[in-house]
Amino acid sequence: MTSLIAVSAVWVAVGLATPDRTAADRLSRAYPRPRPARLEGAAARKRRACTVGAASAALLVATVVGGLAGVALGAGVGAATHRWLARLESAAERRRRAAVVEDLPLALDLIAGCLRAGLSMPASLRAAAGGTGPALSRWLLDPVERLALGAVPSEAWAGWAADPLLAPAARVLLRASTTGAQASGALRRLAIGERQRARDRAVAGAGTASVRALLPVTLCFLPAFVLLGVVPIALGLLRVLRG
């Protein structure tokens, strides 16, 4: 009975405590077109894994603690587990996100150059999409398609605004679409900032790699140093003290 109550409680808690904010959900909202079956299957497997993991954690806590306190605690643990699992990105999602991060400064420069040359916003986005990889070109073409279907600028840039990586550019481009303000200078500054952050990440990654490279060396040489250097000295001192 306790397990059944825990299962019901965790479903309610998961539904209330997990907003639709993962990277995969942002992509699905921004791009409602049918996705390949492989991606749909991966998303379905991730949802099942999140549900099974949350339910298992809730049942375990409810069984160990027992009573109403176990049910309440299990529901909380299940909801937290579901949120944590949902935020984990798969390897494919990480690769797509890395491709977007890599191509974003170039795309911002291309859009800024096209706008400065007098092209319209849709034409600038199409030109930038042609010069970037498929991961970012999807984002660049989505506002164009939405505007062509009659969406207002705020709706066209909603997908960008919902993503933390693209939100700064979305604000600049939305302001340019609605007020006609010059966006080329702001886009160039954003591109410079993205390149600087990319360099900072590369430097931090190099430092982390050097630290990780020392770990195997330490694990190999430290036992040898203890056995060949410390142990003989300790044994010699012990003989002296006994003798």
Q: pLDDT at position 18, please?
A: 46
User: For residue 125, which of 149, 142, 150, 100 has the smallest C-alpha distance?
Assistant: 142
Query: What is the overall mean pLDDT for the chain?
Result: 76
Pick the residue with more confidence: 233 or 50? 233
| Number of alpha carbons in the 13 Å side-chain half-sphere of residue 224 | 5
pLDDT bin (cut points 50, 70, 90) of residue 7 is: very low
Q: In angstroms, rounded to a whole number, what is the distance separating the alpha carbons of residues 59 and 71? A: 8
Q: In angstroms, rounded to a whole number, what is the distance separating the alpha carbons of residues 134 and 35? A: 14
For the stretch 51-60, pLDDT in tens is 777 788 778 8
Which position has the token pair 């199409």?
126
| Number of alpha carbons in the 13 Å side-chain half-sphere of residue 109 | 12
Q: Which amino acid is at 172?
A: V
Burial class of 172 by CB neighbour count within 10 A (0 to 12, 13 to 18, 19+): buried
Q: pLDDT at position 24, please?
A: 38
For the stretch 139-162, pLDDT in tens is 899 899 988 888 888 888 888 888
Q: Which amino acid is at 231?
A: V
For the stretch 104-128, pLDDT in tens is 999 999 999 998 888 888 899 999 9
Q: pLDDT at position 128, please?
A: 92
Q: In the chain, pLDDT over 70 holds for what percent of residues?
A: 77
User: Which pair of tokens denotes residue 109?
Assistant: 């420069």
User: Which pair of tokens denotes residue 105?
Assistant: 């400064």
**Whether residue 234 has pLDDT greater than 80:** yes
Phi-psi region at 88: left, alpha or beta (left = phi > 0; alpha = psi -120 to 50): beta
Phi-psi region at 133: left, alpha or beta (left = phi > 0; alpha = psi -120 to 50): beta
Q: pLDDT at position 110, please?
A: 92
Read out DSSP for 95-163? HHHHHHHHHHHHHHHHHHHHHHTT--HHHHHHHHHHTS-HHHHHHHHHHHHHHHTT--HHHHTHHHHTS
For the stretch 12-35, pLDDT in tens is 444 544 444 444 344 344 444 433
- How large is the average pLDDT for residues 67-76? 80
Q: In the chain, pLDDT over 90 holds for what percent of residues?
A: 7
| Continuous segment of H or E residues that includes residue 61 | helix 37-65
Q: In angstroms, rounded to a whole number, what is the distance separating the alpha carbons of residues 122 and 115? A: 10
- Please say whether the beta carbons of 139 and 161 come within 8 A: no
Pick the residue with more confidence: 17 or 91? 91
Q: In angstroms, rounded to a whole number, what is the distance separating the alpha carbons of residues 165 and 167? A: 6
Q: Which amino acid is at 79?
A: A
For the stretch 172-231, pLDDT in tens is 988 888 777 788 888 999 999 989 988 888 888 777 777 777 777 777 777 777 788 888
